[in-house]
Amino acid sequence: MPNQASTSSFVTSIASEIKKGTVENGRVYAAYGNHEYGLPVDDYELDRLDMNHQKYTLLQGNRLFLAPITPTPQKILDLGTGTGTTWCALVLLTCSSLVKGIFAIDIADMYPSAKVIGTDIAPVQPQWVPTNCQFEIEDAEDEWTFQKNDFDYIHGRDFYQSIRDWRRLVQQSYDHLKPGGYLELACVYPVPRCDDETLPQDCAYVEVCQTFQEIGAKMEADPDAPLHFHEHMREAGFANVSQTILKIPTSPWPKDRRLKKVGALELMNLMEGAQGFLLRGYTKEFGRTREELELLLMRMRKELTTQKYHSYVSFYVVYGQKPEDKSQSAEDI
């Protein structure tokens, strides 16, 4: 039989390695998960994503989510909890979306009837949380060990360079929802658009977005995944599939006050986060240098601060309901 002390020491060592992560080019990345995750998990990234949580809430009209879930959920599964700021009200399960524990804590307080469990590939969650909220280290692409037909709501947001098999993820979500429960997936589609021809296609901002897409493709993480969320849900058997596409301005160029605030947050997101979006893939997948990337980002920052580009990216929010009975058919709204 294995020595108990040796086994305990080995487990402690592995846990320590997961907690520390791995360091590349001065940034910290997750050390757990079936696939390499392209974005860092250090304090710089967590602060950026904490701000992003506020941006998405504002973008959605001060709503945390769009699905018409039951007012008294008992179990909720979040795919993409990170530090807990993305959805959490029974189980948060992810391999991306690393933010701070504000969202999970707020939802646990909002729904005291719901047990909250957050899981992620990086142990970046807070220690002090409501009694109905807890966190675990899990990879969303593993076989789920949770009870089937058990969740009122499953949510996932911003799986950048993470999920390799979306159909399987959606199917597992369907299997683990209660009849009548909802799956909601939300993600930015980082392809810049412009309605007044002020965005030149040869600018650094467009190159940054294209590079991010190419890195995802190189990592076999579908860069066009948000475009297919509704299709995957219908194929899995979801009913009442609804897709909402919201515009995120690249900077505070809009006249509308709410969108101007969203644009200001997005500008900060790009200024502070673009290096994290690209650094790992730029150096490992493309064999380029950090110095080359910094020159590209310097050009992009100079461009965006002028606010002369009236550009935006699309934020896809898609939800579907597991039928109450088998006669309920899947449909798009």
pLDDT at 44: 56
Of 99-108, 157-166, 267-276, 314-323, least confident by mean pLDDT is 99-108
pLDDT of residue 292: 95
Summarize pLDDT for 275-318 with one digit per residue, the tens. 878 887 888 888 899 999 999 999 999 999 999 999 999 999 99
In this predicted structure, what is the pLDDT of residue 316? Answer: 98
> Which residue reads 């080019």 in tokens?
25
Reading the block at residue 24, the tokens are: 């590349």
Q: Could you tell me what percent of the chain has a pLDDT over 70?
A: 70
pLDDT of residue 233: 98
Name residue 182's beta-bridge partners.
Answer: 153, 321
Task: Decide: 316 and 189 in contact? Cβ < 8 Å.
Answer: yes
Confidence of residue 86 (pLDDT cuts 50, 70, 90): very low
Query: Are the C-beta atoms of 181 and 322 separated by less than 8 Å?
Result: yes
CA distance 245 to 78: 21
Identify the pLDDT of residue 40: 54
pLDDT surpassing 70 at residue 63: yes
Q: With bands split at pLDDT 50, 70 and 90, how would you rate the model's confidence at 95?
A: very low
Q: What is the pLDDT of residue 135?
A: 72
- 208-244 residue pLDDT tens: 999 999 998 988 889 999 999 999 999 999 999 999 9
Reading the block at residue 160, the tokens are 């950048």
Check pLDDT > 50 for residue 10: no
Give the chain's domains with CATH numbers. Answer: 24-322 (3.40.50.150)
Q: How many CB atoms lie within 10 A of CB 62?
A: 8
Average pLDDT over all residues of the chain: 79
Task: Quote the CA–CA distance of 99 and 80 in Å, as a whole number.
Answer: 9
Please tell me the least confidently modeled range out of 40-44, 174-178, 227-231, 314-318: 40-44
Reported as a single tens digit per residue, the pLDDT across 117-168 is 665 655 444 566 777 876 767 777 889 888 999 999 998 888 877 788 999 9
- Whole-angstrom Cα distance, residue 63 to residue 65? 5
DSSP character for 196?
A: S
Note the pLDDT of residue 9.
Answer: 41
DSSP 8-state assignment for residue 38 = S
Question: Which residue in 223, 202, 165, 167 sits closest to 299, CA to CA?
Answer: 202
pLDDT tier at 21, thresholds 50, 70, 90? low
Residue 127's pLDDT is: 60
- DSSP codes, 232-281: HHHHHT-EEEEEEEEEEESSS--SSHHHHHHHHHHHHHHHHHHHHHHHHH
| Confidence tier at 35 by pLDDT (50, 70, 90) | very low
Which pLDDT band holds residue 327 (cuts at 50, 70, 90)?
low
pLDDT of residue 85: 44
For the chain, how big is the Rg over CA atoms in Å?
20
pLDDT digits (tens, 9 = 90+) for 155-164: 888 887 778 8
User: How much is the average pLDDT of 84-108?
Assistant: 45
